[in-house]
């Protein structure tokens, strides 16, 4: 996958532009969809969607319908997709943005645990174990609080 300019850098360029046209003419905006991004990640990793299904723990219909654009996943399902695709933190945040979900926020206890798990290369199942250990809602299943 090609490296993208960081959002913070783009914002700085936009804020320093005298007119919106000056920024827009740079060609730094993009019209990327969630399915486009998912297929880029899939190709980058040399994976098949069936592998994403197994690694994410999601229902196959959810995965296939998300890849085709028939549905937009909720936040936890998007996070599970990110685990299934072995995304790093930046890729996960981008996937969440494209899914229309809030990004992971380190000030939120549950999100902080998820971020740490992603950084450490944990699987979705291992992340659920960490969430469970800290008494947080797991990604797979709804009411595993204790």
Clarify whether residues 44 and 20 are in a common domain: no
pLDDT tens digits, residue range 122-143?
A: 999 999 999 999 999 999 975 4
For residue 139, being part of any structural domain is answered with no
C-alpha–C-alpha distance, residues 103 and 36, integer Å = 19
What is each CA distance from 112 to 67, 73, 95, 109, in whole angstroms?
27, 21, 17, 5
CATH code, domain carrying 95:
1.10.260
In a domain, 142, yes or no: no
Is residue 129 within 8 Å of residue 120, measured between CB atoms?
no
Tell me, yes or no, whether 144 lies in a domain. Answer: no
Nearest alpha carbon to residue 127 among 141, 113, 137: 113
Asked if residue 76 and residue 41 are part of one domain, the reply reads yes
**Mean pLDDT, residues 98-112:** 97
Is 138 domain-assigned?
no
In a domain, 6, yes or no: yes
Same domain, 58 and 113: yes
The count of other CB atoms within 10 Å of the CB of residue 97 is 16
Residue 146 lies in a domain: no
Please indicate, yes or no, if residue 143 is contained in any of the structural domains: no
Q: State yes or no: pLDDT of 43 exceeds 50.
A: yes
Q: Model pTM greater than 0.75? A: yes
| Number of compact structural domains in the chain | 2
Q: Are residues 73 and 36 in the same domain?
A: yes
Cα Rg for the chain, rounded, in angstroms?
17
Q: Mark whether 7 and 75 lie in a shared domain.
A: no
Domain holding 14, by residue range, is 1-30
Better-scored residue on pLDDT, 105 or 3: 105
Q: Is the predicted pLDDT of residue 45 greater than 80, yes or no?
A: yes
Q: Both 2 and 59 in a single domain?
A: no
Mark whether 36 and 55 lie in a shared domain.
yes
Whether 73 shows a pLDDT value over 90: the answer reads yes
Look at residue 98 in the predicted model and tell me its pLDDT: 95
Say if residue 89's pLDDT is above 90. Answer: yes
Query: 64 burial class (0-12, 13-18, 19+ CB within 10 angstroms)?
Result: middle
Q: Read off the pLDDT of residues 22-42 as tens digits, 9 standing for 90 and up.
A: 777 777 666 789 999 999 999
């Amino acid at each position: 996958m090609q490296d993208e300019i960081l959002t913070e850098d783009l914002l700085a360029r936009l804020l320093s532009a005298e007119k919106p046209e000056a920024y827009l003419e740079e060609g730094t905006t993009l019209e990327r969809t969630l399915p486009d991004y998912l297929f880029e990640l899939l190709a980058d990793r040399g994976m098949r969607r069936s592998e994403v299904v197994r690694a994410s723990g999601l229902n196959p219909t959810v995965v296939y319908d998300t890849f085709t654009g028939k549905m937009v996943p909720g936040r936890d399902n998007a996070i599970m997709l990110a685990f299934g695709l072995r995304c790093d933190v930046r890729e996960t945040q981008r996937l969440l943005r494209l899914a229309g979900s809030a990004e992971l926020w380190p000030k939120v206890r549950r999100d902080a645990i998820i971020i740490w798990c992603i950084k450490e290369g944990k699987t979705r199942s291992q992340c659920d174990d960490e969430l469970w250990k800290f008494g947080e809602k797991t990604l797979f299943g709804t009411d595993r609080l204790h």
